[in-house]
Amino acid sequence: MQLFNKLKESFIKTKENFSNKLKSIFAFFTKVDEDFLNRLEESLIMSDVSVTAASKIREKLREKCKYDNVQSPDEILSILKDIIISIVDCEIEHNFAEKNILLVAGINGVGKTTTIGKLANFYKNQEHKILIAAADTFRAAAAEQLELWAKRAECEILKKPEGTDPGAVVFEAIEKLKRENFDFLICDTAGRLHNKSNLMAELSKINRIIDKNIDNSYKKSTFLVLDASTGQNMMSQVEEFSKILNINGLIITKLDGTAKGGAIISVREKFPEIPIKYIGTGEQIEDLSEFDSHQFAGSIISR
């Protein structure tokens, strides 16, 4: 219940955005007809749901309401919630190997450093031994900021001077992972270089170094961190990073400060093969939760 309340607080601005629009619709319509559906679709789009996802929700709602002859607002909300759950639902793999390498990517400003600290704390609290690799060696003070979060999580960090080859940092971290029997290696990466192609080339290089230096007994995962306040721009980021990385999961941050949480529906509709693993629910180190589609829908839709 405490976790659910925390999630509700995180989605409060998104919920208000949704609820206000839904209330205005129900105030003007007494039955589910084409005008009602048109207005609902417009409201979804205005709530940062993509046109494609909004259209899909509209058609599913029309079909269900027509089949069951639904008219009451409470029934409509219940159906709408179920439709959203069906779109955002993720099959999340909870099992880890004895040795795990997490490559964390994302553009600067999305909360990547904070998220790595939260991840380290999350896994440490499950009795795992964590090593963090500060492989963003291009951004000034990036390693120092990450070191602060490592200290908060009471985890080890491997960092090198600014300008060091990021691939060399990751290679050394992998050797340390093997030698000192860590359970998790969490690798930070650059979010921006002087052009996008250089950034992608650097990430691709780090990815190759990891693959070259581990065997099948290691589990490698790549998480992409996205800032919820950027709304549907999250989709273009997923698209770009997917060109060079096999993204295994998304982490959505800054939900507590935005009304654009509806874009989560858009992301899941466009990339159903990439699950949302975690969401940031605040600024503290413990404010990271596994994503739950039922809790998400329940947090944003109510009378």
Helix segments in 125-195, DSSP class H: 142-153, 166-179
pLDDT category of residue 14 using cuts at 50, 70 and 90: confident
pLDDT category of residue 184 using cuts at 50, 70 and 90: very high
State the average pLDDT over residues 164-168.
95
The encoded tokens of residue 255 equal: 């939900």
Closest CA to 221 of 181, 172, 186, 252: 186
> pLDDT tens across 76-116, in order?
889 999 999 999 998 777 677 889 999 999 999 999 999 99
State the average pLDDT over residues 260-267.
91
Contact predicate 183/100, CB 8 Å = yes
Out of 70-79, 99-108, 163-172, least confident range: 70-79
Q: What is the DSSP string of 27-44?
A: HH-SS--HHHHHHHHHHH
What percent of the chain shows pLDDT beyond 90?
Answer: 63
| Distance from C-alpha of 79 to C-alpha of 64, rounded to nearest angstrom | 8
pLDDT category of residue 33 using cuts at 50, 70 and 90: confident
Contact predicate 237/223, CB 8 Å = no
Beta pairing, strands 218-227 & 130-133: unpaired
- Count CA within 13 A, CB hemisphere, residue 55: 4
State pTM to two decimals.
Answer: 0.92
The encoded tokens of residue 98 equal: 């004895």
Question: What integer pLDDT is reported at residue 23 of this predicted model?
Answer: 82
* Alpha-carbon separation of residue 39 from 64, 162, 231 (angstroms): 17, 53, 21
| Distance from C-alpha of 224 to C-alpha of 273, rounded to nearest angstrom | 14
Beta pairing, strands 99-105 & 184-187: parallel
Does 213 score more than 90 pLDDT? yes
Contact predicate 215/131, CB 8 Å = no
Closest CA to 136 of 111, 99, 167: 167
Does 136 score more than 90 pLDDT? yes
Out of 35-44, 62-71, 180-189, least confident range: 62-71
Contact predicate 190/105, CB 8 Å = no
> pLDDT tens across 116-127, in order?
999 999 999 999
State the average pLDDT over residues 134-161.
95
Closest CA to 103 of 31, 194, 204, 192: 204
Helix segments in the chain, DSSP class H: 2-10, 12-28, 34-46, 51-68, 73-88, 112-124, 142-153, 166-179, 196-212, 233-242, 263-270, 293-300
Question: What integer pLDDT is reported at residue 4 of this predicted model?
Answer: 52
